[in-house]
Structure 1
């Protein structure tokens, strides 16, 4: 099962993004204000999750009549609406989770949304933040990520929460062999696909992978 989550950040072309990522059997989830993106894409969300402070009452009534399920949380909460949506998706044992509209807007929320990829509950799930041509994944120690793209695609590897050790890449212009990327320096930024398929394996730590996709394709799930 694949779950598509619409967050309340910026989404320049909702219909185009939905056409690229959403399929008829996918479950669509709106994190509160992300409902506007789902509707702009021509979708009625299956689930709406959050404190609903961004959702007019008349719109909620219309969606309820259309069959949308609401998961209402109090405004005074520790989690963001997107975090609640991700926790719900993880509990459904989704094979893949795609997040649209997570970036843009307030920089603090944008950074927090990127950090949500490190939620312990998401371990073992294939989770991507998608923003235009960019697909962002988190590689955890012991995982391998397979990238499918075109030579020339930009790939940046950025450690999170400390040094990332035991990195081995294949199919990238600037390879690593059991290498370490330290947290802080920008050494892993702006690598390039040298082949149509590349791999990144990580032994210890966490590693963000930013893939700028310059074709109609996307990454596969980590193994």
Structure 2
């Protein structure tokens, strides 16, 4: 699929959910290229941010955002088989994406976003919420997380997955995870953590203050 946004830097993707001004500022400082997923353009404008592109079916972007951005920044994708989040990710070519405004307040939207990052391997995408950052662990690759002792590490499977770990209070070797079976919420780091999984589909959930550690681990995996 042809990319709309090409970047050698990280991309911040804003959706229509809640986005704190501090979270947006942190994201743009790390990933300075700014894109909005449809109605995320309204959120970006409200935050005083101007996205370089708006991608989606464009049924949620408001008149003010259209006027401020101009038609040249709007990229309509008419098909209805995917969400605006997925439409956007499929058209971004970047080392990683920080996605804000996709973790609430509606739980169905949150679950759909989690489903998307579990299925799409590129670009690596981290969903940044008010308290958490969520990303999909790449399969069969060591993920080294530079965490401090006491950091919460939750593992939530979106498919049947097994793996191994070092540095977790409760090791995961020999365990089988599944969305309708065992999950791994509220584990604890005893220091730096390494995990590796035998298949795609494992989501890693960390406190938001571990965002840079998560980005570094994904870029090095």
- Range class of TM-score, shorter chain: 0.7 to 0.9
Deviation sequence 1:30-65 (CA, Å, 0-9, x none)? 111111322233210011112222222343122128
SS of the residue 2:137 aligns to? strand
Sort the Cα spacing of 1:204 and 1:29 in 2 relative to 1 into closer, same or farther, 3 A. same
Cα distance, 1:107 vs structure 2: 2.1
Pair 1:106-2:106 in alignment: yes
**Which residue matches 2:4?**
none
Q: What 5-or-longer segments of structure 2 have no aligned partner?
A: 1-8
SS of the residue 2:125 aligns to? strand
CA distance in 2, matches of 1:180, 1:56: 46
Contact kept? 2:12, 2:31, Cα under 8 Å? no
Sort the Cα spacing of 1:144 and 1:216 in 2 relative to 1 into closer, same or farther, 3 A. closer
Pair 1:88-2:103 in alignment: no
CA distance in 1, matches of 2:90, 2:122: 13
Deviation sequence 1:127-183 (CA, Å, 0-9, x none)? 11110231101113212222233222211112212x212x11111111123543244
CA distance in 1, matches of 2:183, 2:176: 10
Q: What 5-or-longer segments of structure 1 have no aligned partner?
A: none
Pair 1:44-2:50 in alignment: yes
CA distance in 1, matches of 2:178, 2:77: 39
TM-score by length of 2: 0.84
Sort the Cα spacing of 1:214 and 1:133 in 2 relative to 1 into closer, same or farther, 3 A. same
Cα distance, 1:16 vs structure 2: 0.3
Cα distance, 1:73 vs structure 2: 2.9
Alignment of 1:185-196 (within 5 A): 185-195=181-191
Equivalenced residue count is: 210
CA distance in 2, matches of 1:114, 1:24: 22
Sort the Cα spacing of 1:114 and 1:215 in 2 relative to 1 into closer, same or farther, 3 A. closer
**Which residue matches 2:6?**
none
TM-score by length of 1: 0.84
**Which residue matches 1:148?**
146
**Which residue matches 2:17?**
9
1:70 aligned to 71, 74, 96, which one? 74
CA distance in 1, matches of 2:140, 2:174: 13
Contact kept? 2:155, 2:185, Cα under 8 Å? yes
CA distance in 2, matches of 1:215, 1:127: 15
